[in-house]
Amino acid sequence: MIGKYRDQFNSTFSEEKYSSFLKTLESGLTNIPFRVAETPIFIPSDLQKKLVEAGEEIIKLIKQPNFKELTKDSIPANWNVPNENEHPHFLTFDFGICKDPSGHLVPKLIEMQGFPSLYGFQPELGRIYKESYGLASGLTPFFNGINEQSYVDLLKKVVLGNYAPHQVALMDVDAPNQKTAIDFLITQKYLGIKILSLTDIFKEGDALFYEEKGEKVQLRRIYNRLIFDEVTDKTDLFIESFDPRDEIDVEWITHPNWFYRISKYTMPFLKSEFVPETHFLNTLTEIPADLENYVLKPLFSFAGMGVIIDVTKADVTKINDPENWILQRKVVYEPVIQSPDGGVKAEIRLMYLWADGEEPKLCINLARLSRGKMIGVRYNKDFDWVGGTVGLMEG
């Protein structure tokens, strides 16, 4: 979107450079099972300012004293985890890039999460884009004057706290085989922590342990990457390991309840030029006549699963749990990224770190390019110049 960088990038792009970039990205780590886009996004300063402003408006809501009361019904009763802390350690806000009536670029909120994203992978991705394509040294994926070292220092503070790396583990249901395993490995490189699957952990009393070279090591903190949606029908795994819903002597980074509190559930409470009109389905007094301008989303789903894009009245009326759905005005993405054969739509995720005793800090971003009906890798399998990427800004 910054014309001089886009023109230069496109004029010197080649498939050979792209292949070399991917090879470098995976080198010494693991194969990447999701599509990484050919190009970064070059974010202009006016759009950057609007993204920052939009994020600040959302954080104001999250910091309201009554936020927990507002979102008390967001947590499914069967997944309520005890000992919730006062704030999430991670915030991620996804914005579609659109145009306003005056033709200016404007971000529109699509999704939000109180859950970690690719906090290890994104700085590495930005650095390798710059190196592989010979991009200007002043371009950065970071906000607020952060550089790679200060970012890693803050990530350590958030994830490790006062504990040694061996007392902290990144946990997922089957960590080595997750699509995001490359992020896990880079995070381990930065922080020195363990990567554990759920069944690598066992419980004695109310303490959690893992085994290392025949010795048991107590876990004091879990950098949680486990989404409960993924284990709803696999709770037998808890018998082999531990049940997160039990009283256990461990700190969650971040606590699982925040996944639900800061989510699609939060969007109806936001009133902003950057947030599309959103309603809980059970609060509608009448179904809008122009349903073609809305999208229907289940509250408790992940990665776009269950979303109905072309909504009909029948879709709305057949829902038997309307309290678990939202109706949201569609966002019209503008194909603002110029590829060699036309425009591509973009989404930018703002990624915050919130250390204990401090304020949330906007650190880095994640971006996705799309030609399909929905943003997301699974919806763009047959296209090029799509997939995961990062936004670079002039420092």
Is the torsion defined by CA of 72, 112, 118, 372 positive or negative?
positive
pTM of this prediction? 0.94
> In degrees, to the nearest 5, what angle opens at C-alpha 144 toward C-alphas 141 and 145?
75
For each of the chain's 395 residues, which pLDDT tens digit applies? 899 999 999 999 999 999 999 999 999 999 999 999 999 999 999 999 999 999 999 999 999 999 999 999 999 889 999 999 999 999 999 999 999 999 999 999 999 999 999 999 999 999 999 999 999 999 999 999 999 999 999 999 999 999 999 999 999 999 999 999 999 999 999 999 999 999 999 999 999 999 999 999 999 999 999 998 788 888 899 998 999 999 999 999 999 999 999 998 999 999 999 999 999 999 999 999 999 999 999 987 665 578 898 999 999 999 999 998 999 999 999 999 999 999 999 999 999 999 999 999 999 999 999 997 766 555 566 789 999 999 999 98
**CA gap 273, 257 in Å, rounded:** 28
According to the model, what pLDDT value does residue 231 have?
87
Q: Tally the residues of the chain.
A: 395
According to the model, what pLDDT value does residue 347 have?
97
- Cβ neighbors of 326 (< 8 A, separation 6 or more) are 264, 265, 267, 268, 278, 279, 280, 281, 296, 297, 299
Beta strands in the chain (DSSP E): 41-42, 90-99, 105-113, 139-140, 168-172, 194-197, 202-204, 207-212, 215-219, 221-224, 251-253, 278-280, 294-298, 325-329, 337-339, 342-353, 361-370, 387-389, 391-394
Write out the DSSP string of 142-198: -STT--HHHHHHHHHHHHHTTS-GGGEEEEETTGGGSTTHHHHHHHHHHH--EEEEG
Q: How many CA atoms lie within 13 A of 170 on its CB side?
A: 31
According to the model, what pLDDT value does residue 374 have?
61
| Residue 303 per-residue DSSP state | T
**CA gap 39, 389 in Å, rounded:** 7
Q: Are 141 and 393 in contact (CB under 8 A)?
A: yes
